[in-house]
Structure 1
Amino acid sequence: MTPLARGEHVIHAAHGRGQVELDLGDTTIVRFGHGLEEVLSAELRAQPAPAQVASRGDVQLPLDVLTRLQAELITSINDTWGVFARSRIALLPHQLWVCRQVLREWPPRWLVADDVGLGKTVEAGLILWPLLSRRQVRRFLIICPAGLVEQWQERLRRMFDIRVSRYHPDLDHARADYWNGHHQVVVSLQTIREDHDGRHGRLLAADPWDLVIVDEAHHLNVDDQAGATLGYRLVDRLMQAGRIGGLVLFTATPHRGKDRGFVSLLELLRPDLFDARKPLAEQLPQLSRVVIRNNKQNVTDLQGRRLFHPPRVQAETYRYSPAEADFYRMLTEFVASGQAYASTLGDTQGSQAVTLVLIALQKLASSSVAAVRRALHGRLARLRAATSAARGSRRWTEQYRALEGQAETEAVNALDEEVGEWASWVRLMEHELERLEELVAAADRVEEETKLQAILAAVTSRFEGRSVLFFTEYKATQAALMGELGRRYGEHSVAFINGDGRIEVSGRTLTLTRQEASARFNRGEVRFLVATEAAGEGIDLQGVCHTLVHVDLPWNPMRLHQRVGRLNRYGQTRQVDVLTLRNEDTVEALIWDRLTEKLGRVMQAFGEVMDEPEDLLQMVLGMTSPSLFRDLFTGAQSIPRDALGAWFDAGTGHFGGRDVVDVVRDLVGHSARFDYQEVSRQIPRVDLPDLEPFLRNALNLNRRQVRHDDGLTFKTPEAWAGEIGVLRSYRGLTFDRSLAGEDLSRVVGVGHKVLDAALGQARGLEASVTVLTVRRPQPPLLVYRVFDRVTARPAGERGTLVGVRLGPAPTVLRDWEALLELNALQAGTPGSPRGADLQADVERAQDIVQGRLDDLHLTFARPQVEFLGGIWFQGPEA
Structure 2
Amino acid sequence: MPETNTFLAPHTPVSHPLHGSGQVIVDSGDAVVVRFGGEIHSVLRSELVRARSLDLALESGAFDDSAEGLLRASALAIRSVNDQWGVFSRSRVQLLPHQLWVCHKVNRQWPFRWLVADDVGLGKTIEAGLVLMPLVARAQVRRLLILAPAKLVPQWQKRLYEMFDLRLQMYGREIAKASADFWGVTQMVVASVHTLRQEVSEGRAEASAFLDAEPWDAVVVDEAHHLHADDRTGETLSLELLKEMERRGKIKSLLLFTGTPHRGKDHGFFSLLSLLDNERFGPDKDPEEQLAALPEFMIRNNKAKVTDLKGEKLFTPVTVESREYQFSDAEAAFYDTLSAFIIDGRAYASNLSGQAQTARMLLLIALQKLAASSIAAIRSALIKRRDKLASVAENARATIAATDQPETLDDAAVLDEEASARLLAELMDGEVARLEELLDLAEPIVSEQKIERLVELIVTDLPEDEPVLLFTEYKATQALVVNALHARFGYGRCAFINGEGKLENLLRADGSYGPRSSTRETAADDFNAGKVRFLVSTEAAGEGIDLQERCATLVHVDMPWNPMRLHQRVGRLSRYGQTRPVQVFILRNPATVEARIWDLLNAKLERIQAALDVAMDEREDISQLVVGLSGPSIEVMFAEGQARFGADSKPAREGVSTWFDQASATIGGEDLVKSVRNMLGNVTRFDFAQVGNNIPKVDLPDLERFLKLELERQGKRAMNREDGMEVIAPDEWRKTDYAIAKRYTGLVFDRNAPIDRKQAPTRLIGIGHSLLDRALKESLDREAFLARCSRLKVPLLITSITDEITGHGQTVGRIVVGACRLADGTVEILRDWELLKRLNLVGAADETLPSPQAAGQQLTDLAQDLIIHIGKNARELAEGMTRPSVRGEVLLVPEDDDD
Q: Please, what TM-score do these two structures have when normalized by structure 1?
A: 0.94
Q: Secondary structure at the match of 1:569?
A: coil
In structure 2, distance between residues paired with 1:601 and 1:844: 60
Aligned to 2:841: 824
Greater alpha carbon shift after TM alignment, 650-659 vs 631-640? 631-640
Match of 1:311 among 308, 318, 338: 318
- 1:336–1:638 CA contact under 8 A, matched in 2: yes
Q: Which residue of 1 aligns with 2:786?
A: 769
Match of 1:236 among 240, 243, 260: 243
Query: How far off is 1:724 after superposition?
Result: 2.7
**Following superposition of structure 1 onto structure 2, how do residues 181-330 of structure 1 map, counting pairs within 5 Å?**
181-194=185-198, 195=200, 196=202, 197-330=204-337
Aligned to 1:347: 353
Give the counterpart letter for 1:659 in structure 2: D
Deviates more, 1:594-603 or 1:260-269: 260-269
What CA deviation, in whole Å up to 9, does each residue of 1:246-300 have, x standing for no partner?
0111111111111121112222111233243123223222110001111111110
Distance 1:14-1:852 versus aligned 2 partners, 3 A rule: farther
1:787 aligns with 2:787: no
- Tell me the equivalent position of 2:896: 875
Aligned position for 2:141: 137
Q: Does 1:734 align with 2:748?
A: yes
The amino acid that maps onto 1:852 is: N
1:787 is matched by which residue type in structure 2?
Answer: T
SS of the residue corresponding to residue 73 of structure 1 reads helix
Structure 1, residues 687-722: CA drift from partner, whole Å, max 9, x if none?
000000100110111121221112221211133222
Contact 2:696–2:833 under 8 Å retained in 1: yes
- SS of structure 2 residue aligned to 1:487: helix
Alignment of 1:487-526 (within 5 A): 487-504=487-504, 505-506=506-507, 507-526=513-532
Q: Name which of 872, 875, 887 aligns with 1:866.
A: 887
Shift of the alpha carbon at 1:383? 3.4
1:530 is paired with a residue whose SS is strand
State the partner residue of 2:119: 115
Q: 1:253 to 1:417 in 2, by over 3 A?
A: closer
**For the structure 1 residues 45 and 513, does the alpha-carbon distance in structure 2 shift closer, same or farther, using more than 3 Å as the test?**
farther
Q: Secondary structure at the match of 1:402?
A: coil
Q: What runs of 5+ residues in structure 1 fail to find an aligned partner?
A: none
- Cα distance, 1:877 vs structure 2: 9.4
- How far apart, CA to CA, are the structure 1 residues paired with 2:524 and 2:296? 38
Contact 1:377 1:420 in 2 (8 A): no
- Deviation of residue 204 (structure 1)? 2.4
In 2, Cα distance between equivalents of 1:41 and 1:412 = 68
Q: In structure 2, which of residues 662, 666, 669 is the aligned counterpart of residue 654 of structure 1? A: 666
1:671 aligns with one of 656, 679, 683:
683
SS of the residue aligned with 1:268?
A: coil
Other-structure match for 2:403:
402
Q: Distance in 1 between matches of 2:526 and 2:46?
A: 58
- Alignment correspondent of 1:803: 818
Question: Could you tell me which of 584, 589, 607 is aligned with 1:578?
Answer: 584
Contact 1:587 1:637 in 2 (8 A): no
CA contact (8 A) 2:349 2:360 kept: yes
Amino acid aligned to 2:502: R
**Gap change, CA 1:627 and 1:389, over 3 Å in 2:** farther
Query: Contact conserved, 1:380 with 1:420, CA < 8 A, in 2?
Result: no
Q: CA–CA distance in 2 between the matches of 1:244 and 1:877?
A: 57
Alpha-carbon RMSD: 2.6
Write out per-residue CA displacement over residues 599-657 of structure 1, whole angstroms, 9 at most, x where no aligned residue: 11111111111233222322222211414422333344314633111111111112011
- Please name the residue that 2:858 is paired with: 837
8 Å CA contact 1:846, 1:867 repeated in 2: yes
Segments of 4+ in structure 1 off by > 4 A?
Answer: 3-8, 10-17, 20-24, 27-30, 32-46, 386-391, 833-836
Contact 1:31–1:37, Cα closer than 8 Å, also in 2: yes
Q: Provide the residue aligned with 1:476 in structure 2.
A: 476
Contact 1:493 1:528 (8 Å CA) reproduced? yes
Question: Is the CA contact (8 Å cut-off) linking 2:62 and 2:855 kept in structure 1?
Answer: no
C-alpha contact 2:563 2:631 (8 A) present in aligned 1: no
**Does 2:110 correspond to 1:83?**
no
Quickly say closer, same or farther: Cα 1:876–1:433, change in 2 above 3 A: closer
Partner of 1:461: 460
Q: Distance in 1 between matches of 2:516 and 2:16?
A: 60
1:794 deviation in Å? 1.8
Change (3 A) 1:17 1:165: same
- The offset of 1:17, in angstroms, is 5.3
Is contact 1:113–1:291 with CA below 8 Å preserved after alignment? yes
Where do 1:1-150 residues align within 5 Å? 2=2, 8-10=12-14, 18-19=22-23, 31-32=35-36, 36=40, 47-150=51-154
Instruction: Give me the whole-angstrom Cα distance separating, in 1, the residues matched to 2:472 and 2:47.
Output: 64
User: Is the partner of 2:495 in helix, strand or coil?
Assistant: strand
**Aligned residue identity for 1:115:** D
* 1:837 counterpart SS class: helix
Q: 1:418 deviation in Å? A: 3.8
TM-score w.r.t. the length of structure 2 is 0.92
Contact 1:67 1:698 in 2 (8 A): yes
**Match for residue 871 of structure 2?**
850
Whether the 8 Å contact between 1:88 and 1:741 is mirrored in structure 2 is no
Cα deviation, 1:502-561, whole Å, max 9, x if unaligned, reads 112132221111111111111111111000001111111111101000010000111101
Deviation at 1:357, TM superposition (A): 2.2
- What per-residue deviation string (whole Å, max 9, x for no partner) do you get for residues 17-76 of structure 1? 53356999xx99863555558999999986311122023221112111001111111011
Separation in structure 2 between the aligned mates of residue 253 and residue 14 of structure 1, nearest angstrom? 49
The structure-2 alpha-carbon separation of the partners of 1:146 and 1:45, relative to structure 1 and needing over 3 Å to count, comes to farther
Q: In 2, distance between residues paired with 1:38 and 1:230?
A: 48
Q: Distance in 2 between matches of 1:832 and 1:129?
A: 44
Please report how far the alpha carbon of residue 430 of structure 1 lies from its aligned counterpart in structure 2 after TM superposition: 2.0
**Separation in structure 1 between the aligned mates of residue 34 and residue 207 of structure 2, nearest angstrom:** 39
Supply the AA of the counterpart residue of 2:243: D
Structure 1 distance, partners of 2:370, 2:16, is 67
- For the 8 Å contact 2:3–2:46, the answer to whether it is kept is no
The aligned residue for residue 571 of structure 2 is: 565
Instruction: Work out whether residues 51 and 842 of structure 1, in 8 Å CA contact, stay in contact via their aligned partners in 2.
Output: no
Preserved CA contact (<8 Å) 1:773 1:876: no
Identity within the alignment, %: 43
Q: Distance between the aligned counterparts of 1:326 and 1:44, measured in 2? A: 94
Shift of 1:239: 1.2
- Asked whether the 8 Å contact 2:124–2:257 carries over to 1, the reply is yes
2:752 is paired with a residue of what secondary structure? helix
1:80 corresponds to which letter in structure 2?
Q
Aligned equivalents of 1:42, 1:213: Cα separation in 2:
46
Q: Mind listing any 5+ residue stretches in structure 2 that lack a counterpart?
A: 508-512, 646-650
Measured after TM superposition, the shift of residue 787 of structure 1 is: 0.3
Distance 1:746 1:387, change over 3 A: farther
